[in-house]
Structure 1
Amino acid sequence: MFKNILLPTDGSGLSVKATDTAIRFAQVHGARIVSICVAQPFPFVPMAEGAVVPDTAVFETQINAAAKINIDKVAASCAAAGVPFEGIVTASHSPYEEIVAAAEKHGCDIILMASHGRKGLNKLFLGSETQKVLAHTTLPVLVLR
């Protein structure tokens, strides 16, 4: 039934658990895993002359390297389990948009993703990428904790 699974990852402990679940799910369904890690660019944009701007190039290099490491870990787990795999590293200020677009572009028929289950002010300020994905896709989404 499910042949192409999209697995967003951020390298967190919850994402690692979600990866293990997604691999078992893929094995049961004879599916492949497409995993995406969205590196978020430096959020600061100077608004005035003379502002001190951190070296955003260094930040972006490091965040992209971390995203690549996260994808490589999923790739290694998939290879060890014999599950076909494709990895995507991208950068965006809106991870949910990248996740939804990747699912569509790669013909995925389900999204399996971890949720951090943030509450209160953390949810308000940090948002919930999982909720945004749920609101912007027509695909089934399996939320893992």
Structure 2
Amino acid sequence: MFKKILVPTDGSPLSDKAITAAIEFAKTVNGELVTLCVAEPYVYSALVEGAGVFPMDSVAYDEKAQEIAQHNVDKAAALARAQGVTCKTAVALSFSPYEEIVRTAEASACDVIFMASHGRKGLNKLFVGSETQKVLAHSTIPVLVFR
């Protein structure tokens, strides 16, 4: 039934919970994982520059964000391989994580998405909105949400 599982990760303990569950599930069905981490690119703000504060180097920021994202998927892949589960990794740079999650699921021919209920905390979660909710609304395949 579900042989290819997409597991988006942001490196949080809750997404680690989804990774662990996906690995255990994949072991029981002889399935495989695709892990994805979406790095959000640098946001340039003219307001910051106008205030006399120099903005961070956008290239360096994006490179660091991608490095962290790669570390997150490599960690998940190592856990999967240690349990004998095949795991492919993907990193994307996007302002729209949910679109990358849905796109990767389709492009990788995944049967199901295992993901955390949230990654952000506090006010940022309210302003940005729930990526999980957006995946649920736009995915054409089942989504298993971990709390």
TM beyond 0.5: yes
Distance 1:66 1:87 in 2: 13
Paired residue for 1:18?
Answer: 18
CA spacing shift, 1:62–1:29, aligned 2, 3 Å:
same
Instruction: Indicate how the Cα distance of structure 1 residues 121 and 72 shifts in structure 2: closer, same or farther if over 3 A, else same.
Output: closer
**1:47 CA drift (Å):** 7.0
Which aligned pairs between 1:1-145 and structure 2 lie closer than 5 A? 1-46=1-46, 52-116=54-118, 121-145=123-147
Change beyond 3 A, Cα 1:74–1:49? closer
Aligned-pair identity in percent equals 54
The change in CA–CA distance for 1:122 and 1:63 in structure 2 (over 3 A counts) is closer
Q: In structure 1, give the amino acid aligned to 2:32.
A: R
CA distance in 1, matches of 2:106, 2:136: 14
TM-score, with length taken from structure 2: 0.90
User: Alpha-carbon deviation of 1:55?
Assistant: 1.1
Shift of 1:27: 0.9
Are the structure 2 counterparts of residues 119 and 36 from structure 1 closer, same or farther at C-alpha, using a change threshold of 3 Å? closer
Q: Which consecutive residues of structure 2, in runs of 5 or more, have no partner in the other structure? A: none
Which 5+ residue runs of structure 1 have no aligned equivalent?
none
Q: How far apart are residue 43 of structure 1 and its match?
A: 1.9
Q: How far is 1:57 from its partner? A: 1.5
Q: CA deviation at 1:44?
A: 2.3
Aligned residue type for 1:44: Y
Please report the TM-score for the alignment, with normalisation by the length of structure 1: 0.91
